[in-house]
Amino acid sequence: MNINENIERIASGLPKGVKLIAVSKTKPIEDIQAAYDWGQRAFGENRPQEMASKYRILPKDIEWHMIGQLQEKNVKYIASFVHLVHSVDHLKLLSKLDKEAFKYGRCIDCLLEFHIAEELTKSGLTYEQAVEMLESEVYRTLRNVKITGVMGIATYTENTDQVRMEFRHLKQIFDRLKDRFFAEDRAFKEISMGMSGDYRIAIEEGCTMVRIGSSIFGSRLLKNKLI
């Protein structure tokens, strides 16, 4: 597994306007350092404590992206440095991020995560839930978080037509929210969709960020279970 070659191949195939988030969850510091030495600066993690310990060791010009489910009680581990939280799916989490960001005098950029896959287990908001959140009194009071776009995870399937429809659905949600709530807001511009198996489709459907792990760092095996 040559990380430099992988990242070079993937990055050079991305169109302008699509940012690569290298998903380094479960991977050791040396692997992240290798990608960093190549020139990669944006890394994705899904566990707050793991992200915080990597942050402490690695160069400070890395952008850390939280892509996994985040519990309110764990926000404190990442609030001082996280670059973008991709996985905001309820108002209480957004409020907690706001509160913790305030302590550091900063504003945390966030994406709203939508449920676009067919599996019942995948997390994320519906369009209606997002509207309810954006129209709430509580949301209006938040000053230390900023919603800059949307995120979604497609169904894990060989059926590329289905994956394409799901990504298209997320793009439609983005467009509707943009019209209704963020028309004047140039910061609302990100569509985070596409992983190792489906990022080419995501690009065709209009993503601005892809989150790629195993195609860069190799598969993640833990206790003989693929994670």
Ligand X SMILES: *Cc1c(COP(=O)(O)O)cnc(C)c1O
Cβ atoms 35, 23 nearer than 8 A: no
Nearest to 154 by CA among 143, 165, 138: 165
Cβ-based nearer residue to ligand X, 42 or 142 = 42
> d(Cα 202, Cα 209) in Å, to the nearest integer?
9
Task: Tell me: does residue 196 bind ligand X (CB under 6 A).
Answer: yes
Give me the least distance between CB of 61 and ligand X, in Å please: 22
Residue 156 CA, chain-centre distance (Å), reads: 17
Taken in order 191, 192, 193, 197, the sign of the CA dihedral is positive
| Per rule CB under 6 A, count of chain residues that contact ligand X | 14
How far apart CA 126 and CA 30 sit, in angstroms, is 39
Determine, following the binding rule CB under 6 A, whether residue 27 of this chain makes contact with ligand X: no
Out of 20, 97, 145, 212, name the contact with ligand X by CB under 6 A.
212
- At its nearest, how many Å lie between ligand X and the CB of residue 134? 22
C-alpha angle 94-57-107 in degrees, rounded to nearest 5: 25
Select the span of 89-97, 168-176, 178-186, 189-197 touching ligand X (CB under 6 A): 189-197
Kindly give the pairing relationship between strand 108-114 and strand 84-88.
Answer: parallel
Q: Which of 41, 53, 68, 162 is the binder for ligand X (CB under 6 A)?
A: 68
Q: Which is nearer to ligand X, 54 or 142 (CB)?
A: 54
Q: Is 40 in the site for ligand X (CB under 6 A)?
A: no
Residues engaged in binding ligand X (CB under 6 A): 23, 25, 46, 67-68, 153, 195-197, 211-215
